[in-house]
């Protein structure tokens, strides 16, 4: 499905969407705790997301990471693809290379409908709309 790295990346992007702006950039060390990942790991994820222009960054003494309005129009699938690549989300749960609809593995028919729903959701859900949904339930799930 999706990797732990992608889960961390989605949490980092969500945190940036809520807490950052061009005038309020966030440095990687301030993201490590809310994302609950080691700083070097978070730093690499942020660099890749920035390189792929899914988040914005500015170097220097007042530098850091932030999201622009354009960044927020990207989908969660864009984040997953940036970190995991295109193949991982479509891969067989048992890691069988030849598993497909015509030659299914024993779990294919159980997992495929749910995976298909997840792929559709991630492809349609923008960072902005995901942030709105998160903020409406944030009393239960906090990134702070």
Q: Pick the residue with more confidence: 8 or 87?
A: 8
| pTM score | 0.89
Interval 38-54 mean pLDDT: 97
Classify residue 56: in a domain, yes or no. Answer: yes
The average confidence (pLDDT) of the chain is 92
Q: Is the pLDDT of residue 35 over 70?
A: yes
The verdict on residue 143 lying in a domain is no
Percent of all residues in the chain with a pLDDT value above 70, rounded to a whole number? 95
Asked whether residue 114 is assigned to any structural domain, the reply reads: no
Q: Is residue 71 within 8 Å of 59, Cβ to Cβ?
A: no
User: In this structure, are residues 25 and 63 in contact, taking their beta carbons and an 8 Å threshold?
Assistant: yes
Q: Stretch 65-70: mean pLDDT, rounded? A: 97
CA 51 to chain centre: 14
Q: Classify residue 16: in a domain, yes or no.
A: yes
Domain that holds residue 132: 4-91+126-137
């Amino acid at each position: 499905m999706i990797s732990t790295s992608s889960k961390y990346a989605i949490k980092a992007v969500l945190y940036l969407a809520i807490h950052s702006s061009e005038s309020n950039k966030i440095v990687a060390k301030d993201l490590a705790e809310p994302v609950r990942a080691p700083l070097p790991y978070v730093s690499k994820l942020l660099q890749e997301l920035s390189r792929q222009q899914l988040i914005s960054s500015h170097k220097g003494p007042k530098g850091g990471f932030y999201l622009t309005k354009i960044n927020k129009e990207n989908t969660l699938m864009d984040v997953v693809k940036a970190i995991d690549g295109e193949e991982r989300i479509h891969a067989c749960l048992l890691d069988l290379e030849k598993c497909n609809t015509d030659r299914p593995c024993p779990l294919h028919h159980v997992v495929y409908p749910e995976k298909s729903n997840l792929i559709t959701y991630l492809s349609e859900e923008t960072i902005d709309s995901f942030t709105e949904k998160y903020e409406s339930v944030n009393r239960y799930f906090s990134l702070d």
